[in-house]
Amino acid sequence: MLNLSEIVKGGTFCLSKAGLAIGGTTSKARTNAPNGAGIDFAVGGKLYHIADADDNITFTAKTVTALYSCVFTICALVGGTLSTVAGALVLTASVAAGTPLLVPEATAGTCPVGYIRVDAGASVFTAGTTALTGGTVTVTYVDCFALPDALIVS
């Protein structure tokens, strides 16, 4: 992994806080950047912008089994939209005991701007259908400059 000072050409990273949050449609998420303008990011050294919008993040079709956790990486596309990449399922109790929960890599040609961790409770979580709120699911929103280099273990 390169440090920012070691990048000679190119570079893919988020330049502003995305402000990931639940959307108006509770099965979707949104960006709500604190700068009030949206997300600024670089892909391959070129700069791009996505304006904030409600419900601009629709989850990849993925079922999170009851009592399991999954991380969804949020990717900014140079065309101005956002997509998700779903990670592997890990038993939530195992994550709490130290088993790593991996943040999936962003798709080629996109910039990761954050990730959303979903811990399904006693019920199944169906991405794009189940609400990101309520007693059946715990959701954590994390904004990123780049994907973390450490595994999630709690």
User: Which residues, listed in sequence order, are joined to residue 120 by a DSSP beta bridge?
Assistant: 137
pLDDT at 26 over 60: yes
Q: What is the pLDDT of residue 7?
A: 61
Q: How far apart are CA 6 and CA 30, in angstroms?
A: 33
Of 150, 90, 139, the residue nearest 115 (C-alpha): 139
78-122 tens-digit pLDDT: 999 999 999 999 999 999 999 999 999 999 999 999 999 999 999
Choice between 111 and 135, residue whose per-residue pLDDT is larger? 111
Tell me the pTM.
Answer: 0.92
Look at the block and give the residue holding tokens 């088993």: 99
11-22 tens-digit pLDDT: 899 999 999 999
pLDDT at 31 over 60: yes
pLDDT band at 2, cuts 50/70/90? Answer: low
